[in-house]
Amino acid sequence: MAWKRPARREFLKGSAALASGLTVGALAPDAAAQGPAPAASPGSAATPMLKDTSELIKYGDRSKYVTSVRIPHGGRPTPDTFGLTFHVATPLQDSVGVVTPSSLHYYATTRGSFLPDIDPRQHTLMIHGLVDRPLTFTMDDLKRLPSVTRLHFIECAGNRSSPRAKNVQESHGMTSCAEWTGVLLSTLLKECGLKGSAKWFVAEGAEEVKGASSMPIAKAMDDCLVAYGMNGEAVRPQNGFPLRLMVPGFEGIFHTKWVRRIKVVDQYHINYNDFGHLDQDAKEAALGYQIGPKSVITFPSGSQRLPGRGFYEISGLAWSGGGAIRKVEVSTDAGKTWKVAEFKGTPQRMAHTRFGLGWNWDGKETVIMSRCTDELGSVQPSRVQIAEHFHKPADPSFSIPGLDNSIMPWHIASDGSVTNGLTA
Amino acid sequence: MAWKRPARREFLKGSAALASGLTVGALAPDAAAQGPAPAASPGSAATPMLKDTSELIKYGDRSKYVTSVRIPHGGRPTPDTFGLTFHVATPLQDSVGVVTPSSLHYYATTRGSFLPDIDPRQHTLMIHGLVDRPLTFTMDDLKRLPSVTRLHFIECAGNRSSPRAKNVQESHGMTSCAEWTGVLLSTLLKECGLKGSAKWFVAEGAEEVKGASSMPIAKAMDDCLVAYGMNGEAVRPQNGFPLRLMVPGFEGIFHTKWVRRIKVVDQYHINYNDFGHLDQDAKEAALGYQIGPKSVITFPSGSQRLPGRGFYEISGLAWSGGGAIRKVEVSTDAGKTWKVAEFKGTPQRMAHTRFGLGWNWDGKETVIMSRCTDELGSVQPSRVQIAEHFHKPADPSFSIPGLDNSIMPWHIASDGSVTNGLTA
């Protein structure tokens, strides 16, 4: 328990809600004394009713009052632009817990407004190249094999803090976390039998202009999986139905969707890659594989507004390609001092970890931010530290080369409005 | 690792899939030697495409090829019967991992085809009775308070093995598991200040003919929460949007949906309860609060069919109201011998735990079953053991009084068809 527990009733003391008298506060003695007869319960005179249709009984939907949606990632073509790459970001500002609902999981595709629409009975995964025995697996074959279920994040390399981002969906919404179920790639490669010359592998999905990037065979034999399950049901079409390669901790482009072929090779090579951030030099490219450690505060965050001074729980997410998160620290004074946040559950390897820190806001202008440390001891850097590393001035226009895991500051004005702290 | 790892390629050796030559098997040398040029990949000549509409980009849906649905629980009125209690069961036979998708989470209601349709801005939770200071919380108030995120199952007391159940959805589909986020009830009660005479509490939701059952105040101060989050987004309407009481490990009826009032009282009493399984005697009633330990095999299970002899991973779920699952054993010879299954992740307290056991089926008729042990050392009993306890004959017609956590057998015929083992 990292946050110091205030004395009883201190959480909400001084809050605008309490002061208003409309919400938290003492009830009239009459109301408080009454028993739980429904007619006397507050605000329940006539509860509006929702028709629970046959279709909703079979497969439910969210409330009409919940309107959180994915949006195209800033600067990318709109989803209506056929044939171009687009990225759709998760509304992290509304997130709770660690699982991202599959309906809101971020995705990136080169397909524009069209996605592969695959009949799983027709889908196969071929493994060939430097193996003793090339094999092709049907979905039914894969589901007979020993399975694993693991919580893992995926993050796009394009997920970067920017002075232009108005909210955390724009700045960090290209990462999500789900419970993935599938077969370890090592299980399949052992079935095929790796030759001694096997050093790299290439994965191909049903998205011809993308992917097929080289990955080390050591990673394949460690923790890669081919996933058919996502959050307790089949992988969603936008995330690679019926089969997706998971490469935990590597940047998103390696997590090949609609995966149908894996080739084992003896040297690094890339092809069909339409992004500039990978390199033909294996040594340099490998530096981009593992992302993080990284964290961001999701509440309060950009475009939100605190209704007044008083108690709030600052909440956010931390993750690392280097394993499990070991520590998250939060500063509520622009980085002058830091407090250790509480984990909401046991951190999993290469998974989002929810953190929280109780905070009594005094109503004064300030900047809040988080930083994390992973199990390797790596600490999330500030933009200033990254700029120093590259011998650049640390002004807001400084563009971080490669992957960006910098600390994200949120500015809180005295009226409670929250804005991007990089521009403040 | 409970299952013994077979030697390389042994998993699929002898499987029907391999024998058919259509799926798992050696590729032609030409195909295997080719590079990952898309046109040469198997079955990919023309991938059908799915239009990714604006609505789906905002909030996605599953593939049209995935058709798993909830169904009315056996013996209950159909969902179209207005005004009567109905129960809708989760398709556990299709489940993977531990999280139940919110769209497929089981639910039970007295509302028939109508559910409360609550505007969260209007919703409040009142806490009164034997407290120093009765308080009413808005949803915004609750979201400012320290939160917890926990994986918890819910199970209806009506979830019972029966010789009539054709599949695991009918026999066990009235339990589901989700990641719940909210505020500990103890946090709220501390804000209100419990009086010394406080011994029980009663919860009321916007479902007048249900709930309001007495629960011990010790449970409230232990691990109850009022949840606004479910699997990373708002609680679904069918599961109590915008606020649901979670009483981990207690039978489902206590997990009051659309919760709007909690009253702290000094004695046991029940009201508005339309079920016969609770009792006016607190001592007897309390015996029904904590459910399990319980487990069931979800694959292979009733109405499924094994395509032939060979390797399969037996998969299932285990849970207990007594805490975390410590061990699951699986028998593939009708209970004569048992092997310890592998956990797919660290068991959480009062949460479904996924287990697996590798099994080479020899193609002969048999019966498979699972039993679990929880952290209290309680072991899931067989129907014979329960019948002995009640001094009854253990024939298939024996109806277990109260909660039923008996071992569920699945019969596998030599043609691979799987049926309810209680009738075999």
**Is the backbone of residue A249 left (phi > 0), alpha (psi -120 to 50) or beta?**
left
Distance from the B292 Cα atom to the nearest Cα atom in chain A, whole angstroms? 22
From the list A208, A223, A222, the residue with the least C-alpha distance to A271 is A208
Q: Do the Cβ atoms of A69 and B79 come within 8 Å? A: no
Supply the pLDDT for residue A82: 47
pLDDT at A23 over 50: no
The model's pLDDT over A185-195, given as tens digits with 9 standing for 90+, comes to 999 999 999 99
3-state helix, strand, coil in chain A (%, to 5): 15, 30, 55
Cβ contacts of A271 on chain B, cutoff 8 Å: 36
pLDDT band at A396 (very low <50, low <70, confident <90, very high): low
**What pLDDT, on a 0 to 100 scale, did the predictor assign at position B279?**
54
pLDDT band at B12 (very low <50, low <70, confident <90, very high): low
Higher pLDDT, A320 or B398: A320
Task: Flag whether pLDDT at B329 surpasses 90.
Answer: yes
**Taking Cα atoms as reference points, which of B417, B363, B365, B364 lies closest to residue B15?**
B363
Integer-rounded Cα Rg, in Å, for chain A is 24
The CA distance from A391 to the nearest CA of chain B, in Å, is 41
Q: Is residue B84 over pLDDT 90?
A: no
Q: Please state the φ and ψ torsions of residue A191, each to the nearest 5 degrees.
A: -60, -40
Candidate from B8, B31, B102 with C-beta closest to A60: B102
Average pLDDT over residues B379-402: 84
Rounded Cα–Cα distance for residues A372 and A147 (Å): 31
- What pLDDT sits at residue A2? 32
Name the residue of chain A whose CA is nearest to B208's CA.
Answer: A38
* Residues A70, B58: C-beta atoms closer than 8 Å: yes
Cis peptide before B293 (omega within 30 of 0): yes
Q: Which residues of B touch A243 (CB under 8 A)?
A: none
Is it the case that residue B403 has pLDDT exceeding 90? no
Confidence (pLDDT) at B98: 97
Query: What does the DSSP assignment read for B64-124?
Result: TT-----EEPTTSPPTTSTTS-EEEE--GGG--SSPPPGGG--EEESSTTEEE---TTT-E
To the nearest whole Å, the CA of A15 is away from the closest chain B CA by 9
B contact residues 217-236, partner A, Cβ 8 Å cutoff: 228-229, 231-234, 236
- Is B204 close to A35, i.e. CB distance below 8 A? no
> Rg of the Cα trace of chain B?
24
Peptide bond into B300 cis (omega under 30): yes
The answer to whether the Cβ–Cβ distance between A113 and B51 falls below 8 Å is yes
B162 compared with B238, residue with greater pLDDT? B238
Partner-chain contact A48 B119, CB within 8 Å: yes
Helix, strand or coil for residue A420?
Answer: strand
Mean pLDDT calculated for residue range B303-320: 97
Task: Reply yes or no on whether the pLDDT at A361 is more than 70.
Answer: yes
Residue among B62, B56, B63, B64 at smallest CA distance from A79: B56
pLDDT of residue A157: 84
Residue A44 has pLDDT above 60, yes or no: no
Per-residue pLDDT at B32 exceeds 60: no
Assess whether pLDDT exceeds 90 at residue A5.
Answer: no
Confidence category of residue B176, pLDDT binned at 50, 70, 90:
very high
Q: Model confidence at B271, in pLDDT bands (50, 70, 90)?
A: very low
Q: Is B28 a residue whose pLDDT tops 90?
A: no
pTM for this predicted structure: 0.91
Cα separation, A17 vs A33, whole angstroms: 23
CA proximity to A181, closest of A153, A149, A205: A149
Distance from CA of B274 to the nearest CA of A (A): 16
pLDDT category at A379 given cuts 50, 70, 90 is: very high
| Alpha-carbon distance values, B141 to A24, A98, A394 (Å) | 7, 22, 39
pLDDT at residue B35 tops 60 = no
Give the lowest-confidence range in A160-164, A230-234, B62-66, B226-230: A160-164
- Inform me whether the pLDDT recorded for B9 exceeds 70: no
Cβ-proximal residues to B183 (8 Å cutoff; 6+ apart), any chain: B142, B145, B146, B147, B148, B225, B226
Lowest mean pLDDT among A206-220, B56-70, B71-85, B161-175: B71-85
- Asked whether the beta carbons of residue A23 and residue B138 sit closer than 8 angstroms, the reply is yes
Q: Which of B30, B86, B96 to mutate to test the interface with A (most CBs of A within 10 A)?
A: B96
Please check the confidence at residue B400 and state whether its pLDDT lies above 70. yes
Q: Which of A239-253, B80-94, B162-176 has the lowest mean pLDDT?
A: B80-94
Burial of B383 (0-12, 13-18, 19+ CB in 10 A): buried
Q: Which of residues 393-422 of A touch B (CB under 8 A)?
A: none
Q: Which of A91-95, A223-227, B73-77, B177-181 is the least confident region?
A: B73-77
CB contact under 8 A, B99 and A38: no
Q: Which two tokens stand for residue B2?
A: 């409970």
> How high is the pLDDT of residue B5?
39
Strand order in the sheet with A353-361: A294-299, A310-319, A353-361, A342-343
User: Which of B136, B214, B312, B342 to mutate to probe the A interface, most A CBs <10 Å?
Assistant: B136
How does residue A221 score in pLDDT terms, banded at 50, 70 and 90? very high
CB contact under 8 A, B126 and A41: yes
- CA B45/CA A413 separation, integer angstroms: 57
Nearest residue of chain A to residue B354 (CA atoms): A149
The chain-wide mean pLDDT, for chain B, equals 85
Task: Pull the structure tokens for residue B248.
Answer: 């981990």
pLDDT for res B85: 60
Six token digits for residue B310 = 């060979």
Tell whether the model's pLDDT for residue B21 goes beyond 90. Answer: no
Q: Which of residues 173-212 of B touch A (CB under 8 A)?
A: 179-181, 187, 190-191, 193, 202, 204, 206, 208, 212
For A205-209, A269-273, B103-107, B383-387, which range has the lowest pLDDT when averaged over its residues?
A269-273
For residue A245, count CB atoms less than 10 angstroms from its CB and return exposed for 0-12, middle for 13-18, buried for 19 or more: buried
For the purposes of burial, counting CB atoms within 10 Å of the CB of A64, is it exposed (0-12), middle (13-18) or buried (19 or more)? exposed
Q: What is the pLDDT of residue A397?
A: 72
The closest alpha carbon to B9, from A112, A378, A188, A205, belongs to A188
Nearest to A89 by CA among A176, A178, A174: A174
Q: Which domains does chain A have, with CATH numbers?
A: 124-286 (3.90.420.10), 294-420 (2.60.40.650)
Structure-block tokens of residue A263: 């080739």
- Residue to test with chain A: of B68, B95, B117, B207, most A Cβ within 10 A: B117
Token pair in block for residue B303 = 């109405």
Q: How confident is the model at residue A30 (pLDDT cuts 50, 70, 90)?
A: very low
With beta carbons less than 8 A apart as the criterion, state whether B334 and B367 touch.
yes
Three-state SS annotation for B129-187: ECECCCEEEEHHHHHHCCCEEEEEEEECCCCCCCCCCCCHHHHHCCEEEEEEEEEEHHH
> Does A30 contact chain B (CB < 8 Å)?
no
- Give yes or no for residue A57 having a pLDDT over 50: yes
Per cent of chain A over pLDDT 90 is 63
Nearest partner of A202 among A277, A139, A127, A140, judged by Cα: A127
Question: What is the per-residue DSSP string for B337-375?
Answer: S-EEPEESSPPPTTS-EEEEEEEEE-SS-EEEEEEEEET
Identify whether the C-beta of residue B407 lies closer than 8 Å to the C-beta of residue B401: no
Averaged pLDDT for residues B77-84: 52
B 312-371 near A (Cβ less than 8 A): 312-313, 315, 344-346, 354, 356, 358
Size of interface A-B (CB pairs under 8 A): 406
DSSP states of B17-33: HHHHSSSSSPPPHHHHH
- Minimal CA separation from B336 to chain A, in Å: 24
Across A398-410, average pLDDT: 88
User: In the structure, what pLDDT confidence band is assigned to residue B380 with cuts at 50, 70 and 90?
Assistant: very high
Assign A300 a pLDDT band (cuts: 50, 70, 90).
Answer: very high
pLDDT at A391 over 70: yes
pLDDT band, very low/low/confident/very high, at A211 (cuts 50, 70, 90): low
Residues of B in contact with A145 (CB under 8 A): 11-12, 311, 313
Test B79 with A57 for CB contact under 8 angstroms. yes
Nearest chain B alpha carbon to A94? B233
Using CA atoms, how far apart are residues B96 and B313, in angstroms rounded to an integer? 12
What residues of chain B, 124 to 163, have a C-beta less than 8 Å from chain A?
Answer: 124, 126, 128-129, 133-138, 140-141, 144-150
CB-based contact B116 A48, cutoff 8 Å: yes
Q: Using one digit for the tens of pLDDT, what is the confidence trace for A114-172?
A: 889 999 999 999 999 999 999 999 999 999 999 999 999 999 888 988 888 999 999 99
